[in-house]
C-alpha cells in the first residue's frame, strides 16, 4: 500500500470530498456538501492557488492547501502552505503530513514561487523540526521567523451588520480608530 500525492483538479473532487467532509466534522462544522463542493470547484485548477491530496488505493487520506500571500519584505508573493489535514486513523503513523507539506513546497517551486511560508504554534517542536528537516531534504533555506498570525472570527460582526444598517461603514472610520488608540493598554 503506497501513498501518492496528487495536485487536485476538478476530476479528483469526487475523491477529495469525503475527506473534506471528515475534516469539517472534526472542526465541529455542519457540512453543506453542495456549497462545500462549489467552494472547491472554484479553487481547483488555478495556477497560483492549489491543493494537494494524499491518496491511498483511490481514497483521499490527506490534504494540504497552498495560497499566494503578499509579502512586503520580499516584494513578491509567497506560497503559504496551510491547512494540513490527515485522516484520523493515519495521523502520526506513516508521515503523511510531512509528505503533504514537502509536496506543497515542491509544487510551489515548480510554479515559480521563490519563497514559501509554513506555520505552527511556537510550542509545537515536532512541526518546527519537520520544517527544518524538509528544508534540508529539499535543499532549500529555512528561517524561523518570530510572528503571530491572528484568526479573527468575523461571524458576530456579520450578524450585527444584518441588524444594524451602517455598522460596517462605521468600523473603517478614522473616528473609531482614534477612540481605540485612546483606550488604556490593559485591554487584551
Q: Where are the domains of the chain?
A: 3-138, 152-183
Is the predicted pLDDT of residue 187 greater than 60, yes or no?
Answer: no
CATH topology of domain 3-138: Aminopeptidase (3.40.630)
Burial class (CB in 10 A: 0-12, 13-18, 19+), 80: buried
State how far the Cα of 138 lies from the Cα of 64, in Å rounded to an integer.
18
What is the per-residue pLDDT for 174? 59
The string of pLDDT tens digits covering residues 17-42 is 999 999 999 888 888 999 999 999 99
Once rounded to an integer, what is the mean pLDDT over residues 149-176?
Answer: 74
What is the DSSP pairing of strand 116-117 with strand 3-7? unpaired
Of 82 and 76, the structure prediction assigns the larger pLDDT to 82
Of 69 and 63, the structure prediction assigns the larger pLDDT to 63
- Owner of C-alpha cell 453543506: 32
What is the per-residue pLDDT for 112? 87
Is the predicted pLDDT of residue 102 greater than 60, yes or no?
Answer: yes
Task: Grade residue 117 by pLDDT with cuts at 50, 70 and 90.
Answer: confident
Amino acid at each position: 500500500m503506497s501513498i501518492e500525492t496528487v495536485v487536485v483538479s476538478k476530476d479528483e473532487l469526487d475523491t477529495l470530498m469525503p475527506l473534506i467532509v471528515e475534516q469539517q466534522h472534526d472542526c465541529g462544522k455542519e457540512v453543506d456538501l453542495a456549497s462545500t463542493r462549489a467552494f472547491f470547484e472554484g479553487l481547483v485548477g488555478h495556477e497560483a492557488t492549489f491543493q494537494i491530496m494524499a491518496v491511498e488505493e483511490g481514497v483521499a487520506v490527506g490534504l494540504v492547501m497552498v495560497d499566494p500571500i503578499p509579502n512586503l519584505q520580499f516584494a513578491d508573493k509567497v506560497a503559504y502552505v496551510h491547512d494540513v489535514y490527515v485522516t484520523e486513523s493515519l495521523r502520526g503513523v506513516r508521515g503523511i503530513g510531512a509528505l503533504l507539506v514537502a509536496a506543497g513546497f515542491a509544487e510551489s517551486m515548480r510554479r515559480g514561487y521563490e519563497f514559501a511560508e509554513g506555520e505552527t504554534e511556537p510550542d509545537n517542536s515536532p512541526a518546527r523540526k519537520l520544517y527544518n528537516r524538509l528544508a534540508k531534504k529539499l535543499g532549500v533555506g529555512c528561517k524561523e521567523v518570530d510572528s503571530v498570525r491572528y484568526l479573527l472570527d468575523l461571524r458576530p460582526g456579520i450578524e450585527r451588520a444584518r441588524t444594524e444598517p451602517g455598522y460596517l461603514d462605521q468600523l473603517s472610520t478614522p473616528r473609531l480608530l482614534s477612540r481605540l488608540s485612546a483606550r488604556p493598554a490593559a485591554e487584551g
